[in-house]
A and B are shown apart, each in its own frame.
Chain A
Amino acid sequence: MKRDYWIYGGMGVMALVGIWVLFVGLPRWYPSEGVPTPTNEAAGRTTDDELVAATLFYISDDGMRLVGFERRLVQHADPAVQGRIILEAQLAEPPASLLSPIPPGTELRAFYLSDQDAFVDLSAEVTLGHSGGSLEELFTVYAIVNAVTTNIPAINAVQILVDGKEVDTLVGHVDLQHPLELNMQWVADPDTDATQSNPVDQTDQL
């Protein structure tokens, strides 16, 4: 009878060890190689060497322009991964006092490269949550296009997809039937535009 207790006890200990190995040990020993997420340097998890300055775009105080805003993001040697990191930061909450040109709830479904063109696949919230104005649509489109092309010189142009499909426009104005190149027409010039109060040399970290 006493021997049975030892057998059952041993089996229980082995089961607990197996569970620990499966759910704790293996994930620690073989960490996921998925896309790195933006890292908060202030939390002490990264060093300066792992961060890179990236310019993201938000709506200016007067609502008439985009303004560049520098943030420090995790750097990655692969442009496809770096593009994803930049876009996830662009889609995240904007800095205080600035407004995001991307409708809330918009998610990045996919980001991939073909030669020098990037394809940005966004969730349907980018159209469903949009104000519908042409100026806002220009801001939405060129915040995405410029965030990618400004920060990753290897990428020449960006085509925006919605829910995995090509679209004519987001909300009825800007032609999205082909990749768009960097266009700073909608971005405030920090040298000449005195009205914008959030120049690119302000920095923030994600």
Chain B
Amino acid sequence: MTGRLLVACCLVCLATGSPHSFPDDPLTLVTPQDRRPLPTVRFDGRRLVAVSELATPFGLTIADVRQPGRLTLMREDRIIVLTANEGLVSVAGQLVALASPPLERDGNWYVPIDFIGRALALVRDEPLELRPRSGLVLLGAVRVPQVVARYQRAGRRSRLRLMITPQTEHVIEQSANRLLITLDADALDLVLRDMRPDALVADIRAVDGRPALAIELRDGFGSFSATTEPALGGAVELIIDLQPRPVSTTRAAPSPTPPPGSRGGAGARPLAGPGTGPAALIPGETVGDAMLPLMAELAPPRRIRAIAIDAGHGGDDVGTRGPDGALEKDVTLAVAQRLRNRIESELGLRVVLTRTGDSAVSLDERAAIANNDRADLFISLHTNASVREAVIGAEVFYLSLAEYGEEAREAGFTGQLVPTVGGGSRVLDIVPWEMAQLRHVDHSARWAQTVADELSRRVPMSPRGLQQAPFRVLVGANMPAVVVEMGFISNPDQEAQLTSATFQSAIVSGLLQGIIRYRDEVEHETQPLDAGSPDGSGRIP
């Protein structure tokens, strides 16, 4: 009997053929005066907002023109015409495509939420923007930086990375069980990724009604340090390292308490208090195992011993070609050999060339050669080309992450228990090929910046001298890696330069100095800071 009833219900539902709408999380309308919710509904998988909810806050008048299947909205002299089940709406004479058609149900009209940014913005004089990921609707002159937060776990330590766009002043305050990061803004457009509670952090969340982010701490939390670094596109990255309470040391570390209310911005110095992080380790002390994983997983290489140099293209793949016939594959090999000679003779480092002659090597094989030969840095040399002959200048690239999805990132770094010689076992990180560069990309960015700086002192740079791109040769490199485009061979003057010994030597000098500077910086960081600080406290003045 029950079965028949269910079947009957299903048949009725199918016969009516109209799925129901369900209330969804509201959007938040942010204006210079206030914040208010904008209710939304989910209908057949689509997130919609009722036109009646938009009328008051956006000053719309619903015209009293009764046409079946059509709705006319007015804002002063500008008119919006909606047609039921038609994905294009007419807005002040323009056709605008929506993610899904407007919907009329029981006399009420609903539009997809992108209607706000695509259509309403055209009839308002002040700025109007929809931030779909955070559910914010920004109306008027409001300051709402986008904050993309990523939470990473390494051994017993954790790192919170906040990419703040545009750069915005911030204050970090610590109370008993909470770190509060407050931005100088009207609201936060917060995107939180990878957050899972752990031994240090119970939760990370936006603070209601305030442009602030709260990190709820657990008892295992010991101290934190914060640094900021300028990022591309006018953004700034705030990096907060969270350390556990020391577990076993032969001498108790002083209580780590960073200065409350520390103010930061782009270029701010690290906020490391005494006893925080690896910078505070004192030579001779034995340190608990808790300190080790971070060094293995987050810290840069302690020593730069080997450099992989990849001469781009080769064999049948000639690369770009200059107007006088110079070939990219020849220029890159010549510069690679010059660079190898300088590194070996002046720095005494081991050099790995991915090709030593005019041979074809696949992109993944180039990275594999560097990985197998345990190179500590990877540099791929190229010359560029443009259909516009006037374009000149060198460019340095490191891998962009945007093209590699969250699921793929999470799939990386899985530990596998493997047996060892002599008995026992150890955990081995299995890193998918496509994820190899991801763990190094911060250091790649830093090295790329150093190389771009040094090159800019010696050769002409493109207006976009430092960039990120999804270059295949970088993906599998398991070390900091960059691509250097030395110039545009399509420009006759640059073609002559790129084939000249003088210009090639200038490029090599820039690359060599970039390696020296980067090596010195990372090796200095892995040494105890107290050895170099005036008061031995480990503080950076």
Residues of A with Cβ closer than 8 Å to B?
A: 48, 51-53, 59, 61-64, 75, 77, 99, 131-136, 138, 151-154, 168-169, 172-178, 180-181, 183, 185
Q: How long is the Cα–Cα vector from A138 to B470 in the complex, in angstroms?
A: 9
Closest chain A CB from B390 CB (angstroms): 7
Q: Is the CB of A172 within 8 A of B313?
A: yes
Q: How long is the Cα–Cα vector from A51 to B390 in the complex, in angstroms?
A: 37
Residue-wise, chain B 369-382 has the 8 Å CB interface mask toward A (1 for contact) of 00000000000001
Contact of B470 among A53, A61, A131, A175 (CB under 8 A): A175
Q: Is the CB of B402 within 8 A of A181?
A: yes
Which 7 A-B pairs give the minimum distances between C-beta atoms?
Answer: A63-B388, A133-B385, A175-B472, A63-B391, A132-B320, A131-B385, A133-B384
Q: How long is the Cα–Cα vector from A154 to B87 in the complex, in angstroms?
A: 11
Tell me the total A-B contact number using a CB cutoff of 8 A: 111
7 contacts between A and B (CB under 8 A): A75-B88, A131-B320, A133-B384, A134-B469, A136-B387, A138-B469, A180-B470
Tell yes or no: B53 within 8 A of A by CB: no
Residues from chain A with Cβ under 8 Å of B473 in the complex: 173
Residues from chain B with Cβ under 8 Å of A53 in the complex: 94-95
Contact of A52 among B88, B318, B475, B485 (CB under 8 A): B88
Chain A, interface SS category: loop
Q: Is the CB of A172 within 8 A of B94?
A: no
Known A-B contacts: A133-B485, A175-B403. Give 17 more (CB < 8 A): A61-B388, A64-B462, A75-B88, A99-B388, A131-B386, A131-B387, A132-B321, A134-B397, A134-B469, A136-B386, A168-B472, A169-B472, A172-B472, A173-B473, A175-B470, A175-B471, A177-B434
Tell yes or no: B464 within 8 A of A by CB: yes
Chain B, interface SS category: mixed
Tell yes or no: B463 within 8 A of A by CB: yes
Q: How long is the Cα–Cα vector from A135 to B391 in the complex, in angstroms?
A: 11
Residues from chain B with Cβ under 8 Å of A168 in the complex: 362-364, 472
Q: A75-B88, A99-B388, A168-B363 are in contact. Are A133 and B320 (CB under 8 A)?
A: yes
Residues from chain B with Cβ under 8 Å of A185 in the complex: 400, 467-468
Q: Is the CB of B87 within 8 A of A77?
A: yes
CB-based nearest A residue for B101: A77
Q: Is the CB of A153 within 8 A of B387?
A: no
Q: Is the CB of B99 within 8 A of A133?
A: no
Tell yes or no: B319 within 8 A of A by CB: yes
Q: Is the CB of A63 within 8 A of B386?
A: yes
Contact of A132 among B385, B403, B483 (CB under 8 A): B385
Q: Is the CB of A174 within 8 A of B99?
A: no
Q: A53-B94, A175-B403 are in contact. Are A153 and B488 (CB under 8 A)?
A: no
Q: How long is the Cα–Cα vector from A153 to B362 in the complex, in angstroms?
A: 35
CB-based nearest A residue for B87: A77
Closest chain A CB from B471 CB (angstroms): 5
Q: A52-B95, A136-B387 are in contact. Are A175 and B475 (CB under 8 A)?
A: yes
Tell yes or no: B328 within 8 A of A by CB: yes
Q: A131-B320, A134-B469, A138-B469 are in contact. Are A64 and B391 (CB under 8 A)?
A: yes
Tell yes or no: B312 within 8 A of A by CB: yes
Q: Is the CB of A135 within 8 A of B402?
A: no
Closest chain A CB from B174 CB (angstroms): 36
Q: How long is the Cα–Cα vector from A185 to B397 in the complex, in angstroms?
A: 13
